[in-house]
Amino acid sequence: SGVLTTVQVFDREKQREYPITVTATDQAAEPLIGICQINVVILDQNDNDPRFENTHYEYFLREDTRVGTSFLRVAARDDDYSSNAAITYSIASDEPNYLQINPTTGWVFVNQPISQKSSIIREITATDGGNRSSKVELAVTVTSAKNQPPQWERDSYEVVIPENTTRDASILTIKATSPLGDPRVTYNLEEGLVPETNMPVRFYLTPNRHDGSASILVAEPLDYETTKSFLLRVRAQNVAAVPLAAFTTVYVNVTDVNDNVPFFTSSIYEASVTEGADVGTFVTQVSATDLDLGQHGEITYSLLHDSGRDYTCFRLDPQTGSIYTTSVFDREEKGSYLLEVKSVDGSESARPGKHGKPNSDTAYVRVSVSDVNDNQPVFAQSVYEVNVDEDQDVGSTILTVSANDEDEGTNAKLRYQITAGNTGGVLDVDPETGAIFIAQPLDYEEAKMYEIHLLASDGKWEDYAVIIINIMNKNDEAPVFSINEYYGSIIEELDALPVFVLQVVLASDPDSGVDGGDLRYSLHGYGAGDIFTIDEKTGSIYSHKRLDREERALWRFIVLATDEGGGGLTGFADVIINVWDINDNAPTFTCMPDDCNGNVFENSPADTLVMEMAAVDRDDPNVGLNAVLTYRITENVKNEFGSDMFSINPNTGTIHVAGGLLDRERTESYFLTIEARDGGGLTGTGTATVWVADVNDNVPKFTKTLWQAAIPENSAIDSEVLQVCATDADVGENADLMFSIIGGDPDEKFYIENDKEWQCGTVRLKKKLDFENARERQFNLTVTVEDLDFSSVAVCLIEVEDSNDHSPAFLSQFVQTNPVFEDVPVGTTVTTVRATDKDSDLNGKIIYSIKSESDPMRQFVVDQFGHVVVASALDREAIQKYALIVQASDQGTPARTGSVTVLINLLDINDNGPRFEAPYMPVVWENTLKPEIVHMNHTSKLLHAFDPDAEENGPPFTYSLPPDYQNSLDFSLTDNRNNTATITALRSFDREKQKVFHLPIVITDSGIPAMSSTTTLTITVGDENDNCHESGHKDVYVFSYKGKWSTTVLGDVFAPDQDDWDNKTFLSEGKLLKSFRLNQRTGSLLMVDNTPQGIYNLRVRVSDGVCPDVISTVQIHVRDLENEAIQNSATVRFSDVTAEEFIRRDEHGKTRYGEFKEFLAKLLPARLSDVIVFSVMSRDGKQTDVRFAVHAGSAYYRPEKLHAEMAAFKTEVCS
């Protein structure tokens, strides 16, 4: 059909167009080909979410930044096309709405003053035109106007590099400085989410210690055709207790080099050219694509020379790739040509091994020469001769001729035609194959020879041939009978055999010329040869078996007469033989033995038709009386008067009611014996069954006249109350009973559901009952049952039982008590509540309780008189107001509950001292020479307090130091007399000597009487990098089970340093093994899934930007834990030691872990390497569980042995 269909799912983002070459080939012996080039463009679907360029955004913004200032631009990309890739930005509108974003450009700007905030975190959403979206977090740190983050030498950097820049080549140096405090700056290259923002990683950053700058280097090979430019975001952060950061943008533009091959769009092209076409005829166009730009991507084409010299017949346009002919072609000489074409780009190749030559590609072009009609068809012979019998069948082929045409396809398709000599149209020819066949019967007596002229034509050229056909004579006249049908007859059951039936007479044979001739007769048909025979010379027919007319009354045969003594032509005639009947069959009833049934309604009058009792006689009904029947009843049924109850028509066999009453309820069936006699005196009998059908002559009756039942008042609608039943002597639809309520239910509280199968009715509840309504406590229903004509009634007495259907009720939903002081004594009654219940007895007896959710501390109770009493001490500072839900529940089944809310307000007493307003964590920097006021947080030097008591028992506050601290040489306190205080550091501190100071501060409120409290202020000594870090080593043992292990953290690279606030950078020396991941900021080391067992050595360069770099080492032992080791493992628990302490080295370089292994090796005994400790885990409290196994020669020690040794030497183990 030529319909193109897809065979895969397409992704426009991977390939946008598909060039397809379609060939059309005909079905000739040497097929011709047509070619078409189709370019399929893949349309876009919105199947990609927008992707932000970075995983998160962070910015440090001064507190005095003006409203409307744009400070950061976020960007997202969408791989879709057109409107599907149109991105709109939005920011979460949390109140207050400090920040906003331009929905089109992505610029984030200040929307409200931010001076009161320390940090702002918002979620930014990028939504494309198809409503697909993604989100990213923006974290803005608001800095003091006095503090300054690092300053970049330039707001942005730009660099241009070729795409073949080598790995680890430095492309740019950048620098930032810290204007305040510690001059050191750390650098970090922010992670991106798209290729243009360094995901996957194409660049990395390394600091330059000598001048405080950083260099950006190439991490992986670049490809201009994949990513033409990069936008790198670099973070510079100062060294401080609260570090600040600034960002710069590095724009990297990649230039193209000639690294792409001009690939042909197809490895082989198919084309065709017509033979005889003029020189210069266009054949096809080849095309190549080069992803490079400019001169690198300029393509020229050429024809390559080959030994077949096909290239000499064509020329190729070097610019367009178009191919033209330079010769005139003759398909009969050569039908196809194969060309090899070459594409070359426009400059020296940057690919290795090209040695200054340009990039190139080759392809093949197969050119087929299509045919034109330039050859005449030629017959193989000019004259053909053939002999044909005159009796050959019409349609049979007598001769096939053919002509040859050197052209191909339609040009070689020949058609044949008889142009002369076909007298009477007795011959014809197949126009496509040249087969000459008989179209009408041949007759030697009419024509003895035909000479026909035959034409072969290809539509343009013709050729002729003569065919001579000789007709051969045959014996073609059959013998003829004098008549077409012969009739005979014979009586059935004759014994004297054989019996002559009839004589067949022959007329003549046209071929012989003599009447009769040498003929032979034969009889054909069912029964010929065994039941009937014919004399082959005389034609006399005989019967050879005793015949039964009832089996077969008529016999049909065909008699044949064949000339030439039975070897020539044949004539035929029909023979019909009738068998005459005799009375040899008695009558039989067709309904016997099981189906002689009749039906009559009970109470039917005389002469009512019951049934027809018909018999059959197999004798011939058309001849004599052998099949004429008469009927009579030989065994009848008598009524109560002795008369026959049924009669029969002697001629038809129909049975009628004769007299007497038919009652189905008394007798439902009768049996009659019937006789049938034929005209020859033969008889047959049969038994007729007469079924009496029901009429509705009985009244339905209830099985009881009084029915009783009881029902709870809360019964659901449609609940069954009771079942009433009745009987009816009738059957069928006359016994279909309908029950209904006709009295005693004025409000229609009930209805009856009928069950016809069981002749019962179920009384069900139609409406809800209410025992409290006196009219609904008892019902006296009158129900009726009726069939189609009669009915009767009964009484149903229904008692309604009471249910607990009323809840206790209070007078109001809320009770507001008088306020009480929070120190009210336990046992005080706060208020009294009362509830009532319409029900009685247990259904109306009330028990009071307080709902636990409203009083979770169980501070109140309620007694059975409704008194709400204080049960435990109250505290207004914990709970100022109570909304107690007091419940009243009755004792019905199930119980019902009502509730009231009791509102209680507490009055304050001065029972709380002041405390700090916030969890202050001030920092005093070490090595500060002069006294200075201590900052309580990033923005304030003031110490604030608050009092949880009410306002009258709170401020103003007074601040002081305890007497023991008033002469302290470390810190002093100043009460500012405005509810604030300031702390002054009086000397210089050394963090390595003391890291923390605990200063007690006494705060007094203004309550009567006043209350004081002492709160400890923890002051941290801030760290300066005044100590250099050292190289360290760590051994890590990892045990995997069956070689499986999930990604996990192995710990941090060890580089001991007395300073602990340094910003260190951790870089792998050499390429990091693929099984491990190193966090450059924290030094955290991860091992990925299913790392093979072995020993891995890692070297990590550790730098802090001040001291010389050091190399720390990590040795990781990955071992596969045998199943036998797990099954034979034991566990011991150590007290007063954590897992970290168990493996930590002391000042002598020893560990509890190593000592434990040595003890086990000596105790058992075993080699130290055979002691396997594969789990050390901290437990609740200061406890550690150690799981281990010990290998002993060819097997492991059993866990029972290990546990016994641990128990025996418990003291030594724990020490």
Give the pLDDT of residue 475. 64
Amino acid present at 757: E
- Residue 969, domain member (yes or no): yes
- Residue 1136, domain member (yes or no): yes
507 confidence band (pLDDT: 50, 70, 90) = low
Closest Cα to residue 954, out of 962, 941, 945?
Answer: 945
Q: What's the whole-number mean pLDDT along residues 932-949?
A: 89
Q: Are strands 268-274 and 360-370 parallel, antiparallel or unpaired?
A: parallel
Say whether pLDDT at 511 is over 60.
Answer: no
Q: Are residues 495 and 433 in the same domain?
A: no
Lowest mean pLDDT among 160-164, 407-411, 595-599, 763-767: 407-411
Domain boundary among 988, 1022, 1056: 1022
241 confidence band (pLDDT: 50, 70, 90) = low
Please give the distance of CA 813 from its chain centroid, rounded to a whole number.
53
Say whether pLDDT at 116 is over 70.
Answer: no
Q: Count H helices, E strands: the chain?
A: 5, 93
- Residue 81, domain member (yes or no): yes
Q: What's the whole-number mean pLDDT along residues 537-566?
A: 86
Say whether pLDDT at 302 is over 90.
Answer: yes
Q: Are residues 542 and 445 in the same domain?
A: no
Closest Cα to residue 275, out of 368, 369, 409, 412?
Answer: 369
Give the pLDDT of residue 147. 72
Lowest mean pLDDT among 637-646, 829-838, 913-922, 978-987: 637-646
Q: Rounded distance, CA 409 to CA 401, Å?
A: 20
CB 1168 within 8 A of CB 1109: no
Say whether pLDDT at 946 is over 70.
Answer: yes
Lowest mean pLDDT among 364-378, 501-515, 650-664, 829-843: 501-515
Q: Rounded distance, CA 513 to CA 477, Å?
A: 11
Q: Are residues 488 and 576 in the same domain?
A: yes
Say whether pLDDT at 515 is over 50.
Answer: no
Give the pLDDT of residue 514. 38
Closest Cα to residue 1186, out of 1115, 1135, 1124?
Answer: 1135
Q: Which two tokens stand for residue 89?
A: 């930005």
Burial (CB count within 10 angstroms: exposed 0-12, middle 13-18, buried 19+), residue 331: buried
Q: Are residues 52 and 130 in the same domain?
A: yes
CB 49 within 8 A of CB 127: no
Q: Are strands 897-907 and 881-889 parallel, antiparallel or unpaired?
A: antiparallel
* Residue partners of 464: CB distance under 8 A and separation at least 6: 379, 382, 419, 453, 454, 455, 456
Domain boundary among 212, 238, 255: 255
Q: Rounded distance, CA 1176 to CA 1188, Å?
A: 9
Average pLDDT, the chain: 88
- Residue 21, domain member (yes or no): no
517 confidence band (pLDDT: 50, 70, 90) = low
Query: Of residues 1017 and 679, which shows the higher confidence score?
Result: 1017
Closest Cα to residue 1137, out of 1153, 1148, 1149, 1157?
Answer: 1153
* Residue partners of 666: CB distance under 8 A and separation at least 6: none
Lowest mean pLDDT among 180-194, 1060-1074, 1104-1118, 1184-1198: 180-194
Q: Rounded distance, CA 269 to CA 287, Å?
A: 10
DSSP, residue by residue, 921-932: --EEETT--S-E
29 confidence band (pLDDT: 50, 70, 90) = low
Q: Are residues 387 and 454 in the same domain?
A: yes
Q: Are residues 489 and 444 in the same domain?
A: no
Q: Are residues 137 and 152 in the same domain?
A: no
549 confidence band (pLDDT: 50, 70, 90) = confident
- Residue 1046, domain member (yes or no): no
Say whether pLDDT at 346 is over 60.
Answer: yes
Domain containing 1135 equals 1122-1215
Q: Are residues 129 and 61 in the same domain?
A: yes
Give the pLDDT of residue 30. 62
Lowest mean pLDDT among 469-483, 661-675, 960-974: 469-483
Total count of domains within the chain: 10
Tens digit of each residue's pLDDT (9 = 90 or more) over 866-894: 999 999 999 988 899 999 999 999 988 88
Stated length of the chain: 1215
Give the pLDDT of residue 854. 92
Closest Cα to residue 659, out of 637, 675, 689?
Answer: 637
- Residue 888, domain member (yes or no): yes
Helix, strand, coil % over all residues of the chain, rounded to 5: 5, 45, 50
Helix (H, G, I), strand (E, B) or coil at 1057: coil
Amino acid present at 194: V
Give the pLDDT of residue 1214. 72
CATH code: domain of residue 660: 2.60.40.60
CB 72 within 8 A of CB 60: no
Q: Rounded distance, CA 203 to CA 217, Å?
A: 6
Q: Rounded distance, CA 502 to CA 539, Å?
A: 9
Q: Are residues 468 and 486 in the same domain?
A: no
- Residue 23, domain member (yes or no): no
Say whether pLDDT at 573 is over 80.
Answer: yes
User: What number of other Cβ atoms are within 10 A of residue 618's Cβ?
Assistant: 17
Measured between its terminal Cα atoms, the distance across the chain in Å is: 90
Q: What's the whole-number mean pLDDT along residues 909-934?
A: 89
Q: Establish whether the linkage from the previous residue to 931 is cis, with ω within 30° of 0.
A: no
- Residue 736, domain member (yes or no): yes
Domain boundary among 472, 498, 531: 472
Q: Are residues 151 and 141 in the same domain?
A: no
Report the DSSP beta bridge partners of residue 616. Answer: 588
Tens digit of each residue's pLDDT (9 = 90 or more) over 390-399: 888 898 999 9
Q: Rounded distance, CA 690 to CA 669, Å?
A: 5
Q: What's the whole-number mean pLDDT along residues 246-255?
A: 91
Lowest mean pLDDT among 275-279, 802-806, 991-995: 802-806
Give the pLDDT of residue 516. 44
CB 654 within 8 A of CB 672: no
Q: Are residues 814 and 890 in the same domain?
A: yes
Q: Are residues 550 and 597 in the same domain?
A: no
What is the pTM (predicted TM-score) of this model? 0.36
